[in-house]
Amino acid sequence: MTSVIGRSVTRWDTLGKVTGSAVYAGDVALPGLLHGKIKRSTVAHARIRAIDASRALALPGVRAVLTHADVPRVLHYGSPHPRSASVTKDQYILDTTVRYHGEGVAAVAADSEEIAEAALELITVDYEPLPALLTVADALAPGAPAIHAVGPGGNLVLDPVVVTRGDVAAGFAAADLIVEGTYTLGRPVPAYMEPNVCVCQWDALGKLTIWTSTQSPFMVRGTLAEVLGLPLTKVRVLVDHMGGGFGAKQDLFQHEFLCALLAQRTGRPVRMEFSRKETFLGGRTRHSGSIRLKQGFRRDGTITAREAEIVFDSGAYGSHGPGVTAVATASLTSLYRCDNVHLVGRCVYTNTPIAGAFRGYGVVQSYYALDSQMDEAAEQLGLDPAALKLMNAVRDGDLAPSGHPIVGHGLEDCIRRGLEETGWAARRAAPKSHDTGRRRRGWGMGCEMHGSSAYPGIKEQGNAIVRMNEDGTVTLFTGTTGLGTGAHTALAQITAEELGVRFEDVAVVHGDTDVVPWDIGAFASHTTYMAGRACQMAAAQVKAKVLARAADRLEVAADDLDIRDGVVTVRGVPGLSLTVADAIAAERGIPAPQLVGEDSYRPTKSYSFAAHFVEVEVDTETGQIDVVQVVPVHEIGKVIHPVAAAGQIEGGIQQGIGHTLTEDFRVDPRDGRPLNASFVDYKMPLAMDMPPIRTIILETAPDEGGPFGAKGVGEDPIIAIGPAIANAVHDAIGVRFRHYPITPEQVLAALAEKGATPTPGAADQPDQTDQ
Amino acid sequence: MTDGLHAITVTINGEARPLRVAPSRTLLDVLRTELGLTGTKKGCDVGDCGACTVLLDGTPVNACLVLAVEADGAAVTTIEGIAPAAGQLHPLQQSFMDLGASQCGFCTPGIIVMAKALLDRHPDPSEEDIRFGLAGNICRCTGYTKIIEAVKDAARRLAAAPPPAGR
Ligand code: FES
Ligand code: FES
C-alpha cells in the first residue's frame, strides 16, 4: 500500500481558509449580540481607591458595566495547566491593585463597539499610585515593595531554579581558557495575526458556551468553571479555526471571564475582541532579562565547566514564568556536553507587560547565549566553530535536559549535513575582507535541541477516540487545537496509516469540549508526537476489531490478515480479500457492534535537533543587517507531512530573524507606558525582508515513543536562527554582539568604536568572497 | 436619513447590495457584520496588516481604512468572490492549498486578494514583484516562502488556462 506517512496530502483545513469560509471565534454571529470592551489602566502600579461607572451606565446603549466589586474574587492560574509546576496562581479577574500599564480594571457591554468604547471613556478610576518597578534591578533592590502577596517574596515568581552536576570549581581549574559574557535579551511578542477574541452565551439551564481563540480549550474550560463556580458540564468551549497563538494563547487574558460575566448579567450573547494595541498591552511577551554565562575549555575544545545565571523578567504576573525558567535553566546542561555545570535561574515580577509562553519557551534565550559563546570560544581557541560544536554535540545516551537519555545522533547529523550543503569548509578558508567595502558578508551557524512535550514540567497525556462508521470510513475525535500547523491533518494521516484505510476516508472532529477527548492543549511541539501516538494506538484497536470480524467472514485466522487501502487481504492468498465496509457490514440484519478505539499516551520526552546556517550582509554605512539566505537542517525522527513540517521551520525562522534584528516591545523607562504597541512601530520581517530558505529535514534519529518515529518540530526553528545570525554578523564585521535585537544604530556604534567604518571611496560592492 | 444613516449601493462580488450605514462605519465592519462576509479579516483595523484587503473597483484597498459610504456606487470583490463560480476555486486558492501557503489562515484571504490584484496587472511576476506586491500583508506563520511559491504557481496555472471572468 502506498503509505500516507511522509506525503504532503492537501491539508483539509485549508479549503475554508482560502475561500474565506473558515470560522474563527470573531466570525461567530448570534442574534442579540452585544459588544464588550475592557477599560485598561493608564498607570503601571497603583491601588484602586474608587471606580465611578455611573456615567457609563447612564449612556444609552450600555447594557452592563463590571468592576472588581462585581466579579468573583478567586485567585486563579492565569495560565491554566492546573497545579503543574509550570505556572503560578496569582491573578484575579479584576483586582483592586493594578500591576502594569494596560491591565483591565473594568468592562462594558453595549449595543455596539462604538458605544462600548465611548462608555469606557466615561468610567473614572481613582488611582493611589504605588512605586512602579520597571526593571528587574528595581524589583530585586533591597527594600523594593512587593508586587504580589503570593510567591516566595523578594518579587521572585518562584524560588531560584538550581541545577548542578559534577564539580564546577574543579572544571574551571582544569580549563586552559575561560570565556564569560552577559547576554541581554529583548522583549519580542508573538504577534499572532488574530487578535484575542471570544464570544460568550448562556443557556436557560445556566450553561456557558464560549467560542474563543485558544490553544488549550480544556484549560479554559477548567479555569472558567473553577473561578465562576460551575461544574465542568456547564462550560462548553468551542474552537474551530484560530489565527495563530505561538504559545501565548495558552493563557487566559481577563476577557474570557469578563465576557462570560457580561453575558450572564445581560442575558445576551457578548463578543469581546482585542484591538491590535490591546494584544500588545494585555497579551504575552517572551521573557526578557539577562544571562551571565561562563565556560571553561581545554585547548582541544573540551568543555570543562559551565556556569550560568539566568534572570528573567516575568512582568506583572507569573504566567509561565516557572516553566520557562526551569526549561531555560535545564537546557544549559545540554546541547554541548559538559560534565560540570552549575546553573541558576530566577524569574522576577516587575510592573511591565506579562511575559508568558512563547514558542521556544526560554530556550530561545538560553541557546542564544550558549551558541554565541561557543562561537566566541572557537575563535579564541583557533578552531572552526563548526568543529568545536560538532566535537561537543550531545549524542546517543547523553543525559538530556529532562533527565532522559538522548536517542541517536541527531545534532551531529544536522551539523554535518549543513556543512556539506553550504560548502562551509571552503567558505571558512576563503579570505575575508573585513576592513574594506561598504557591504560585508559573513556566515554563521547556530544549533539547538528541543523537547517534544512539556514533560516533566507538565505531566501530559495525549488522547484519541477513533470510530469506524458503517461504510468503512473513520472519524477521529481529538481534543487538540488547530493552531494553523496542520496537526489535524497529520493526526488523520497517522490514523489512516495505522488502520490501513485511505487518508480521504478519515474525518477529524475537534474543537468542542463537550464532544472530544480531554486534551491539555496544543503547545510544547507535542501534538503530532503525543496526540499522534494516541491516535495510532486507538486506530490499532479499531483495526483489531475489524480484523476479528473479517477473520470470521473469511474463515481464516485474524493473524493472517492485514488492511491496505481499505481492503482486508490475506497474507499469502492473493485472490482472497474483503473491503473494510464488507467486513463490518450487518450480519443477518444485525449491525456490527461499535467499532471504537480509544487510548491515552503518556509521553516521556523526546528531543528534536537543528543546525541553522545563515549568510548575512551588513551595510557598514547604515548599520542594516540583511539575512541573505538560510539553510536550516532539522532532525525530527520521521516526517509525517513534509510541506507542513517545512512550513513550521520557515515560519519559525521568520520570527527568529525578527527577534534577533528588529523586534522589541518597549516600555517607557519612566512610567511603564508601552511605546510601540502597533504593527507600524513593532517591526517584524515581512515579504520584502525574508530571505530564501532551503529547508533540509533528516530522519536519522527516530523516537520509538512517537508515531512511526516522529518527533516535534514546532518550536525548534525559532531557536537556532538567533545565534546563527549573531555569529554570521561577527564573521562579517568582526563584532561580537551579546544581545538581541541587534539594531543598525548598535552596528554603527560598534563599527565606529572598532574604527572599522568603510574607507571613503571603497568599492560599493558586497563582499563576494563567499559566493 | 433622519436616523443618521446613509443609503448606499455597493456591488459586492457581482451583486448590487443596497445598504443603510452610519457615516463612520468602515467598509470592513459592514462586510463582516451587515453582510456576513467574514472571510475578510480584521488584524489591526488601522491599515497596518493587510488582513482586510479587498478589491475596490479592481484596486486593492485596506477595507478598514475605507468608509462604507466611500464605496457607494463601487464594485467590491472579497475573498468570497474570487472563485470563478460556486464549487470552483481560483488558481490562487488552489495553489495556496496545494503548496501549503496557508497555516493559521488569518492572513490568507487578504493575501490571496492582494495576489489576485498583482496577477491581474502582472500575469508573469518576478519573485521581487511578488514580494513587493505583498509588502503590506503581514503573515506571521509561514515565512512567506510557500506564499511566494504559490503565487508563482498560480501565475503558471493562469497562463496555461485563463479562467472565465470572475465575479
Ligand atoms: S485590518 Fe485593515 S490593515 Fe489590518
Ligand atoms: S498563515 Fe497565519 S498569519 Fe499567515
* Ligand 1 center–CA B44 separation, angstroms: 5
CB nearest B143 (choices: A8, A11, A693): A693
Residue-level pLDDT at B110: 98
Q: Nearest Cα to A721, choosing from A663, A665, A760?
A: A663
Residues A491 and A619 both lie in one domain: no
In the CATH hierarchy, which fold is given to the domain comprising B91-160?
DNA polymerase; domain 1 (1.10.150)
Q: Nearest Cα to B24, choosing from B5, B45, B41?
A: B5
- Reply yes or no on whether the pLDDT at A455 is more than 90: no
Q: Which cell numbers in the block locate residue A481?
A: 487545537
Residues A618 and A582 both lie in one domain: no
In a mutational test of the A interface, the residue from B78, B145, B167 whose CB has the highest number of chain A CBs within 10 Å is: B145
- Reply yes or no on whether the pLDDT at B133 is more than 90: yes
Enumerate the residues of chain B whose CB falls inside 8 A of the CB of residue A276: 43-46, 48-49
Pure H helices in A123-216: 136-140, 168-173
Amino acid at A172: F
Q: Looking at the CA of B114, which ligand is closest? A: 1
Residues A628 and A703 both lie in one domain: yes
For residues A43 and A523, is the Cβ–Cβ distance under 8 A?
no
ipTM: 0.97
The tens digit of pLDDT for each residue in A164-209 reads 999 999 999 999 999 999 999 999 999 999 999 999 999 999 999 9
Longest Cα separation, chain A: 94
Q: Do A243 and B96 touch (CB under 8 A)?
A: no
Confidence of residue A522 (pLDDT cuts 50, 70, 90): confident
Q: Where are the domains of chain B?
A: 6-81, 91-160
Neighbours of A225 (CB within 10 A): 16
Over range A4-20, report the average pLDDT. 95
The tens digit of pLDDT for each residue in A272-323 reads 999 999 999 999 999 999 999 999 999 999 999 999 999 999 999 999 999 9
Provide the domain limits for residue A433.
418-444+608-771
Q: Do A643 and B79 touch (CB under 8 A)?
A: no
Please tell me whether residue A7 adopts helix, strand or coil conformation.
coil
Longest Cα separation, chain B: 54
- Reply yes or no on whether the pLDDT at B143 is more than 80: yes
**Greater confidence, A615 or A86?**
A615
Q: Do A690 and B144 touch (CB under 8 A)?
A: yes
Residues A622 and A768 both lie in one domain: yes
- Reply yes or no on whether the pLDDT at A336 is more than 80: yes
Number of domains in chain A: 2
Please indicate if any CB of chain B lies within 8 Å of the CB of A215: no
- Reply yes or no on whether the pLDDT at A766 is more than 80: no
**What is this structure's pTM?**
0.95
Distance, CA of A755 to CA of B53 (rounded, Å): 47
The contacts of residue A650 (CB under 8 Å, 6+ apart) are A693, A695, A717, B142, B143, B144, B145, B146
The contacts of residue A19 (CB under 8 Å, 6+ apart) are B39, B79, B80, B83, B89, B93
Determine if ligand 2 sits within 6 Å of the CB of residue B139. Answer: yes
How many residues comprise chain A? 771
Neighbours of A76 (CB within 10 A): 18
For residues A754 and A199, is the Cβ–Cβ distance under 8 A?
no
Q: Looking at the CA of B43, which ligand is closest? A: 1
Query: Which A-chain residues 629-668 have CB contacts (< 8 A) with chain B?
Result: 643-644, 646-647, 650-655
Residues A571 and A686 both lie in one domain: no
Residue among B97, B106, B146, B148 whose CB has most ligand 2 atoms within 8 A, to mutate: B106
How many cross-chain Cβ pairs, A to B, lie less than 8 Å apart? Answer: 178
Query: Which A-chain residues 186-205 have CB contacts (< 8 A) with chain B?
Result: 190-195
For helices A363-381 and A321-331, angle between their N-to-C axes, nearest 10 degrees: 20
Residue A73 lies in a domain: no
For residues A391 and A301, is the Cβ–Cβ distance under 8 A?
yes
The tens digit of pLDDT for each residue in B12-69 reads 999 999 999 999 999 999 999 999 999 999 999 999 999 999 999 999 999 999 999 9
Q: CA of A516: how far to CAs of A25, A238, A486, A574, A585, in Å? A: 18, 11, 18, 39, 26
- Could you say which of A601, A630, A652 is where a domain stops? A601
- Cα within 13 Å of Cα(B114), Cβ side: 28
Residue-level pLDDT at A761: 41
Q: CA of B76: how far to CAs of B45, B66, B73, B157, in Å? A: 18, 11, 10, 25
Residue with cell 563582499: A767
For residues A441 and A767, is the Cβ–Cβ distance under 8 A?
yes
* Ligand 1 center–CA B43 separation, angstroms: 5
Residues A589 and A556 both lie in one domain: yes
Q: Do A24 and B106 touch (CB under 8 A)?
A: yes
Over range A590-599, report the average pLDDT. 90
Residue-level pLDDT at A444: 97
* Ligand 1 center–CA A275 separation, angstroms: 11
Distance, CA of A755 to CA of A762 (rounded, Å): 15
In this structure, of A66-80, A559-573, A654-668, A746-760, the range with the lowest mean pLDDT score is A746-760
Residue-level pLDDT at A81: 66
| Mean pLDDT for chain A overall | 94
For residues A618 and A625, is the Cβ–Cβ distance under 8 A?
yes
Please tell me whether residue B55 adopts helix, strand or coil conformation.
strand
Residue A4 lies in a domain: no
Residue with cell 574551571: A172
Over range A446-454, report the average pLDDT. 90
Q: CA of A736: how far to CAs of A178, A181, A385, A507, A601, in Å? A: 17, 11, 14, 52, 45
Residue-level pLDDT at A759: 46
Residues A618 and A503 both lie in one domain: no
Distance, CA of A567 to CA of A2 (rounded, Å): 13
Q: Do A14 and B39 touch (CB under 8 A)?
A: no
Confidence of residue A763 (pLDDT cuts 50, 70, 90): very low
For residues A304 and A62, is the Cβ–Cβ distance under 8 A?
no
Q: Which CATH superfamily is domain B6-81 in?
A: Beta-grasp domain (3.10.20.30)
Residues A530 and A667 both lie in one domain: no
In this structure, of A520-529, A750-759, B55-64, the range with the lowest mean pLDDT score is A750-759
CB nearest A14 (choices: B32, B92, B102): B102
- Reply yes or no on whether the pLDDT at A757 is more than 70: no
Residue A450 lies in a domain: no
- Reply yes or no on whether the pLDDT at A434 is more than 70: no
Distance from CA of A269 to the nearest CA of B (A): 15
Residue-level pLDDT at A764: 41
Beta bridge partners of A462: A601
Residue A564's H or E segment, with its range, is: strand A561-564
- Could you say which of A578, A601, A624 is where a domain stops? A601
- Reply yes or no on whether the pLDDT at A770 is more than 60: no
**Residue B29, Cβ density class (10 Å: 0-12 exposed, 13-18 middle, ≥19 buried):** buried
How many residues comprise chain B? 167
* Ligand 1 center–CA A265 separation, angstroms: 32
- Give ∠ CA A238-A241-A244 in degrees, rounded to 5: 115
The tens digit of pLDDT for each residue in A216-238 reads 999 999 999 999 999 999 999 99
- Reply yes or no on whether the pLDDT at A1 is more than 50: no
- Reply yes or no on whether the pLDDT at A346 is more than 80: yes
Confidence of residue A84 (pLDDT cuts 50, 70, 90): low
Residue-level pLDDT at B165: 55
For B22, which residue in chain A has the nearest alpha carbon?
Answer: A114
Beta bridge partners of A464: A599
Q: What are the φ and ψ backbone dihedral angles of A259, each rounded to 5 degrees?
A: -65, -45
Q: Which cell numbers in the block locate residue A217?
A: 480549550
Q: What are the φ and ψ backbone dihedral angles of A408, each rounded to 5 degrees?
A: 85, -170
- Could you say which of A566, A586, A601 is where a domain stops? A601
Residues A713 and A693 both lie in one domain: yes
Q: In CATH, what number is assigned to the domain containing residue A556? A: 3.30.365.10
> Torsion over CA of A137, A140, A141 and A143, rounded to 10 degrees?
150
Residue A559 lies in a domain: yes
Residues A635 and A699 both lie in one domain: yes
Cis peptide before A456 (omega within 30 of 0): yes
Residues A509 and A559 both lie in one domain: yes
Q: Do B144 and A194 touch (CB under 8 A)?
A: no
Pocket of ligand 1 (CB under 6 A): B 42-45, 47-52, 62, 64
Amino acid at A44: A
Enumerate the residues of chain A whose CB falls inside 8 A of the CB of residue B103: 244, 484-486, 647, 651
Confidence of residue B73 (pLDDT cuts 50, 70, 90): very high
Residue among B46, B61, B113 whose CB has most ligand 1 atoms within 8 A, to mutate: B46
Residues A479 and A579 both lie in one domain: yes
Residue with cell 526560554: A362
Query: Which A-chain residues 3-42 have CB contacts (< 8 A) with chain B?
Result: 8, 10-11, 13-24, 26-27, 29
Amino acid at B31: L
Handedness of CA B58, B59, B63, B69 (dihedral sign): negative
Residue A635 lies in a domain: yes
